[in-house]
Amino acid sequence: QQPVQSPQAVILREGEDAVINCSSSKALYSVHWYRQKHGEAPVFLMILLKGGEQKGHEKISASFNEKKQQSSLYLTASQLSYSGTYFCGTEPSYDKVIFGPGTSLSVIP
């Protein structure tokens, strides 16, 4: 029941855009997005809830297609600080979050 993420890895130059996708085979209550830098704990970016509500940082953009159980995270005008591993987490029920394998993002000058 682990969600699928794509791509597995991406390399960007500063200023370029990227999209990270997440999909699940189960009906979802919500989708979470977190970023983790090497050696650190994951940090919250955004939650997208069934019904359209979103919670998170204003500079982060994401979408949630409830019918297809798919979510996408949009990173625009990338900065060096965007580098890290991005995880999507899905809530198939009202009690736990299951994370995907992650997408490694590297931003180079």
Chain residues that interact with other proteins, rule: CB under 8 A: 1-2, 29-30, 32, 34, 40-44, 47, 49, 55-56, 87, 89, 91, 94-102
Smallest separation (angstroms) from other proteins to the CB of 28: 11
Cβ closest to other proteins, residue 19 vs residue 49: 49
- How far apart CA 81 and CA 76 sit, in angstroms, is 12
Cβ closest to other proteins, residue 16 vs residue 54: 54
Torsions phi, psi for 78 (to 5 deg): -60, 145
Smallest separation (angstroms) from other proteins to the CB of 15: 28
- How far apart CA 7 and CA 22 sit, in angstroms, is 9
User: Residue 73: enclosing H or E segment and its boundaries?
Assistant: strand 70-75
Cβ closest to other proteins, residue 17 vs residue 50: 50
Amino acid at 81: S
Smallest separation (angstroms) from other proteins to the CB of 100: 6
Q: Are 76 and 107 in contact (CB under 8 A)?
A: no
Q: Are 5 and 103 in contact (CB under 8 A)?
A: yes
Smallest separation (angstroms) from other proteins to the CB of 13: 25
